[in-house]
Amino acid sequence: MKTDKTMKSLQSVKDRVLRDPAVRAEYDGLSDEFEMARELVAARSRAGLTQLEVATRMGTTQSVIARLEGGKRPPALRTVQRYAEAVGCRAVLRLVKD
């Protein structure tokens, strides 16, 4: 488990790096992917499952789950549905006007 000191250190690094406008623009451009990743991890955590347990339920590997939760690329809708089923949830798609 991360200590408060580690979390503060990570936050200070993030804050410092995001002061660069180019980095900030890239980071902001990935906000949807990060939000999806946070939601996946939160659902798995609420279900009390490890990445390996979710992978087994989905018939895949732990490394695939780690990549899904990494937020670097948006997963296919069917993959999200399978993940949701594996953690005892139902995926819901919403379209929100900007």
Task: Summarize pLDDT for 35-88 with one digit per residue, the tens.
Answer: 899 999 999 999 999 999 999 999 999 999 999 999 888 899 999 999 999 999
- For residues 95 and 6, the model is more confident at 95
Angle between helices 31-47 and 62-70 (to 10 degrees): 130
Cα-based torsion angle of the residue sequence 95, 84, 36, 52 in order, rounded to the nearest 10 degrees:
-170
- Spatial separation of the C-alpha atoms in residues 65 and 82, rounded to whole Å: 11
Q: Residue 4: pLDDT above 90?
A: no
**Per-residue confidence (pLDDT) for residue 23, from 0 to 100:** 86
Query: Domain 4-86's class?
Result: mainly alpha
DSSP state of 71: T
